[in-house]
């Protein structure tokens, strides 16, 4: 079967739209006709060679679409079902068995190696192998092959073309607040970086009833959006000392902080802004080998905590429906972050995401 896909062939270069071949789904695979897919920062850093995903590759990991065909061993969905595709996992390691698939023991190879577990790829151009199965889907294409563990069925009434980012970027920010940090009513919370992940965290903090919600970003336009979405305070660290400003606002420091930037100095500042017993979560994509430097006395003496968070510590089968329902109720208006692009304009969508012109780009398939 032939499909259209956007292929990353050269580090840092635009994707190439090409007609490629896709295999029939194997017994344990699902073929999805992609309706739309989000553009995530992770797609960009992989394109740029910051992570060891082999090229040429079809990226994309926030896909939503309609099931076209299922393998004989698949029972979770059937042809015609509307689905969101999320991250991949093994489904049987200890953390997967404990419903923490985002910490799967095989998370990195199953999501970033762009191959099936046997090393093969379902994608090709003639005799040329095109690496696929990125995050178990490779959804920068008109069709994608995924798996039962990373497909979530959504209601017929849900706005399908909008839902793909719930599977990664949006669930990462919201889940960091609701699942990992477990921010509760009356607490203080700050997010460093107000892109789609950070703004999702702000909306989630508003949902759970945090009373002090602080957005930190160098982009004043993003800060204005953060205010509209529930931030009680905004800080531009290019104009003031963010840590000092946070301490002035809270009086004693933050109960919870979240870094979405992956920048070591920003993480240090976030930890320095914590109150005693405060917790800082980190989820930003950093280059391999990046290190964090903390003031050990400050960190230890206040009982402060620093935790890594992957995919919002979410169980997509239960959390994506929660976010879908919150959106339907008007309590989680993530659609306000979205700009739609045609598939032919995917490189423009990526450029606009990089420049900050667009908060969350979603590419619609023809």
Answer yes or no: is pLDDT of 351 > 80. yes
N residues, the chain? 366
Separation CA 172–CA 150 (nearest Å): 15
* Predicted confidence (pLDDT) per residue in 264-307, tens digit: 999 999 999 999 999 999 998 777 788 999 999 999 999 999 99
Per the CB < 8 A criterion, the answer to whether 232 and 211 are in contact is yes
Instruction: Note if the bond before 56 is cis, omega within 30 degrees.
Output: yes
* Predicted confidence (pLDDT) per residue in 321-335, tens digit: 999 999 999 999 999
Answer yes or no: is pLDDT of 142 > 80. yes
Per the CB < 8 A criterion, the answer to whether 321 and 154 are in contact is yes
Residue 112, pLDDT score:
96
Residue 50, pLDDT score:
87
Separation CA 111–CA 135 (nearest Å): 4
Sequence-ordered list of residues with C-beta below 8 angstroms from that of 8, at least 6 positions apart, any chain: 15, 46, 47, 55, 56, 57, 58, 59
Residue 343, pLDDT score:
98
């Amino acid at each position: 079967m032939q499909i259209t896909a956007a292929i990353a062939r050269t580090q840092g270069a635009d994707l190439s739209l090409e007609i490629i071949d896709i295999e029939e789904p194997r017994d344990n695979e699902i073929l999805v006709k992609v309706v739309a897919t989000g553009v995530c920062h992770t797609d960009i850093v992989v394109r740029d060679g910051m992570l060891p995903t082999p090229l040429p590759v079809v990226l994309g990991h926030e896909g939503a679409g309609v099931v076209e065909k299922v393998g004989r061993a698949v029972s979770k969905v059937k042809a015609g079902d509307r689905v969101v595709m999320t991250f991949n996992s093994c489904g049987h390691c200890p953390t997967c068995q404990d419903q923490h698939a985002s910490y799967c023991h095989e998370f990195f190879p199953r999501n970033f190696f762009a191959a099936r577990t046997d090393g093969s790829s379902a994608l090709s151009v003639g005799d040329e192998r095109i690496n696929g199965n990125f995050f178990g889907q490779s959804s920068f294409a008109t069709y994608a092959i995924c798996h039962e563990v990373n497909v979530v069925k959504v209601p017929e009434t849900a706005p399908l073309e909008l839902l793909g980012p719930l599977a990664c970027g949006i669930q990462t920010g919201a889940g960091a607040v609701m699942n990992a940090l477990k921010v509760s009513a009356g607490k203080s919370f700050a997010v460093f970086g107000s892109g789609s992940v950070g703004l999702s965290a702000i909306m989630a903090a508003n949902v759970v009833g945090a009373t002090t919600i602080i957005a930190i970003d160098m982009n004043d336009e993003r800060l204005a959006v953060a205010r509209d979405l529930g931030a009680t305070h905004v800080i531009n660290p290019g104009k003031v000392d963010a840590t000092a400003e946070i301490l002035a606002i809270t009086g004693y420091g933050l109960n919870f902080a979240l870094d979405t930037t992956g920048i070591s100095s920003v993480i240090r500042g976030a930890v320095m802004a914590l109150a005693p017993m405060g917790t800082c979560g980190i989820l930003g994509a950093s280059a391999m080998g990046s290190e964090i430097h903390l003031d050990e006395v400050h960190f230890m003496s206040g009982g402060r905590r620093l935790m890594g968070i992957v995919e919002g510590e979410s169980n997509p089968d239960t959390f994506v429906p929660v976010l879908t329902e919150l959106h339907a109720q008007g309590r989680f208006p993530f659609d306000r972050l979205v700009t739609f692009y045609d598939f032919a304009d995917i490189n423009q969508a990526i450029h606009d995401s990089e420049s900050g012109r667009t908060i969350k780009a979603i590419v619609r398939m023809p």
